[in-house]
C-alpha cells in the first residue's frame, strides 16, 4: 500500500493571515503558501506574526519546494524570513512569483 499523503497547517486556520500548509508525500515536504499575519489591537508592539517554522527547520532536508497560490502578504509575506534559513524553489504564476520575489 502506498504511503498516505499528510497535510499539516502551520497557520491560517481560525485566523485571517499566516497561511502556510505543508504537504508530505513519500517523506518529502512541499509548502503551500508561506504568509504572515498582521497583529490585532491585542498585540501592542508586535509588527508581524509568522508561522512557527521550527518543524520546517528541523526537516529542512526534506523540503522540496513552495507553491504560492497568489501574491498577497498573508500567503507570501513569511518567505523572506524562512528563506534566510532554508533554500527551496518557488512555484506559482508569473505575477505571484514577481510579487513574492519583490519582497524577498
Q: Which class for 70: exposed (0-12), middle (13-18), buried (19 or more C-beta within 10 A)?
A: middle
On whether the CB atoms of residues 10 and 20 are closer than 8 A, the answer is yes
Q: Which domains does the chain have, with CATH numbers?
A: 6-101 (3.60.15.10)
Query: Can you give the pTM of this predicted structure?
Result: 0.90
How distant is the alpha carbon of residue 13 from its chain centre?
A: 13
Q: Is the pLDDT of residue 93 over 80?
A: yes
pLDDT of residue 3: 83
Each residue of 20-69: pLDDT tens digit? Answer: 999 999 999 999 999 999 988 888 999 899 999 999 999 999 999 999 99
Rounded average pLDDT over 78-89? 96
Residue 83 cell numbers, joined: 528563506
CA nearest to 104, candidates 84, 75, 86, 74: 84
pLDDT of residue 104: 86
Amino acid at each position: 500500500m502506498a504511503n498516505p499523503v499528510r497535510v499539516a497547517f502551520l497557520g491560517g486556520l481560525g485566523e485571517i493571515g499566516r497561511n502556510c500548509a505543508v504537504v508530505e508525500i513519500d517523506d518529502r515536504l512541499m509548502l503551500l503558501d508561506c504568509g504572515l499575519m498582521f497583529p490585532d489591537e491585542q498585540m501592542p508592539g508586535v509588527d508581524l506574526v509568522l508561522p512557527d517554522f521550527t518543524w520546517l527547520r528541523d526537516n529542512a532536508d526534506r523540503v522540496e519546494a513552495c507553491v504560492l497560490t497568489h501574491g498577497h502578504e498573508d500567503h507570501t509575506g513569511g518567505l523572506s524570513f524562512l528563506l534566510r534559513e532554508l533554500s527551496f524553489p518557488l512555484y506559482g504564476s508569473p505575477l505571484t512569483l514577481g510579487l513574492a520575489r519583490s519582497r524577498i
